[in-house]
A and B are shown apart, each in its own frame.
Chain A
């Protein structure tokens, strides 16, 4: 078990180092001098001594390796740089926005995951039945609707026509109830679209397991159908489901982007977009780093959980 964890952690460390390098190199591969963005083209041409001074201040006159070392050192100190568009440190901005995204993602995936897991298991168990085929077809169609499309349709029907939810205008001053009122629809959309994906996974793995000999044997021992499904088949189907769930949890921090855009939700997704729009590179880098860390953390958690659920996995790794 310990060896297994150690090996996995090592792989993650390697991935993380690669990602850091990527994150460091991307803006440096950009055509053009970053100082042009910072100072404006006019000052950049007219005051070469100022350019040199700012370049030295940001450490951009040093070698690439030196700069990378500096970047890592600042990261460890929790310094992600300074957003020149918002005028605040990137670290502050990013963590605040992350909290808003989590308000959406955690309940959405929690509800969606439970619903999809239960429904998917039952559907897989009865795969081939007419009701199951219609359900799966419906879910597949739902899965094909792009998230932002679903969000727009939901807004159109629920907020515009039924007038049951606000169109926009979230404000923290009006308290928790107001936040909930605004969060309901985006949570619903996110939950539905992630549930569709998870449902298909669960259904397929349960349907795969159903004809296996161990199921037939258990049936032969006289176990009831429901005991068979929930006690014997489900634990085996849980592994891929859990892996995708963890992946989804990590991805959705960035993947909620579309829903956030449609609902004007002040989360990570809208932050990234505004960083792109304003060419705010420190902010962009910070967002990207944080999202990547979320994905890595979710995967790491999944590996640990998978090892606990399935003891066989601990022996598979070299």
Chain B
């Protein structure tokens, strides 16, 4: 079920330019329109078509989510691998750093970082990716520690395989399931984070995103003038996206998801 949801949303996001019935940037005179025909989900205060906005927003959310999750998984894999295979003081130092980043409250740190670096598409990916790598690092380290103690690694070492070879050929391939599970968990985290930052007005204003639509709805007084469609649909879209990815990853392993 999760898979179907993910595929449908992924397809809708990727084909947004063809699927969208209107140009999401083109303002029309039909502002604050209730859902109906031809604007299926209504329009916003500038008369932009909400459905088209959301399709483009979905694309951005997915792009940022996938890229940031990929980055965080990669960073986590490297840190965890080095810590797990080197051991000793390297391990200890890396774990203290990991714990520290894990302890730092994510959202405030993100806000501070975005405030310092400036909002932008690439900065968002970078910042989100650099915040969420810690659980991956811990998981990979644990897996690497486990694998390193296995007899076949000892055998490989006995025939004279170098440390690099052991790590690359034996340890790394065996942590792939852990990495895959972490990646699946990291995607909704990244999507939620991006949407949250955009909702706060800290996203990239040049791209349509679900969070940006919500930000505009909130700032545009949608709550007060009764334009319920303006925020209920984007909220539903984010929920659907996160929920279907979560269902997909449900049996892949449990983890901190926030």
Contact = CB atoms under 8 A, between A and B. Distances in A.
Interface string B185-200: 0001000100110011
Contacts of B240: 144
A33 B154 CA distance: 56
A6 interface: no
B247 A18 contact: no
A122 B166 CA distance: 46
A255 B105 contact: yes
A11 B202 CA distance: 34
A5 interface: no
Interface string A8-24: 00010011001100100
Contact of A15 (B96, B223, B226): B96
Interface stretch (B7-15, B39-47, B81-89, B107-115): B107-115
Contact of B116 (A26, A152, A250): A26
B247 A140 contact: yes
Interface of B is mostly: helix
Contacts of A206: none
Nearest to B243: A144
Given A156-B223, A257-B107, A295-B105, A146 B115 contact: no
Interface string A151-164: 01101100010000
Contacts of B254: 200-201, 204
B103 interface: yes
Given A204-B254, A257-B108, A291-B108, A144 B188 contact: yes
A149 interface: yes
Contacts of B226: 160
Interface in B199-258: 199-200, 202, 214, 218, 223-224, 226, 228, 231-232, 234-235, 238-240, 242-243, 246-247, 250, 254, 256-258
A30 B116 CA distance: 6
A241 B196 CA distance: 26
Contacts of A182: none
Nearest to A136: B250
Contact of B223 (A18, A167, A258, A272): A167
B191 to A, nearest CB: 9
A287 interface: yes
A204 B255 CA distance: 11
Contacts of B202: 276
A204 B188 CA distance: 20
B115 to A, nearest CB: 4
A287 B107 CA distance: 12
Interface residues of A, number: 51
Contacts of A146: 192, 195-196, 199, 235, 238-239, 242
Contacts, number: 129
Interface residues of B, number: 45
B223 A155 contact: yes
Interface string A262-290: 10000000001100100100001001100
Contacts of A250: 105
A222 B256 CA distance: 37
A15 B199 contact: no
Contacts of A197: 257-258
Given A146-B192, A255-B105, A140 B246 contact: yes
A251 interface: yes
Nearest to B192: A146
B162 interface: no
B100 A19 contact: yes
Given A140-B247, A146-B235, A204-B254, A272 B218 contact: no
Interface of B: 96-97, 99-100, 103-109, 111-113, 115-116, 188, 192, 195-196, 199-200, 202, 214, 218, 223-224, 226, 228, 231-232, 234-235, 238-240, 242-243, 246-247, 250, 254, 256-258
Interface of A: 11, 14-15, 18-19, 22, 26-27, 29-30, 140-141, 143-149, 152-153, 155-156, 160, 167, 197, 200-201, 204, 244, 250-251, 253-255, 257-258, 261-262, 272-273, 276, 279, 284, 287-288, 291-292, 295-296, 299
30 contacts: A15-B103, A18-B96, A19-B103, A22-B104, A26-B112, A140-B247, A141-B243, A144-B240, A146-B199, A149-B238, A152-B214, A152-B223, A152-B235, A153-B235, A156-B223, A167-B223, A250-B105, A253-B105, A254-B105, A255-B107, A255-B258, A258-B199, A258-B200, A272-B108, A272-B112, A273-B200, A276-B111, A284-B112, A288-B108, A292-B103
List the 10 closest A-B pairs by CB distance, nearest first.
Answer: A149-B235, A144-B243, A254-B105, A144-B242, A254-B108, A276-B115, A15-B100, A145-B239, A18-B100, A144-B239
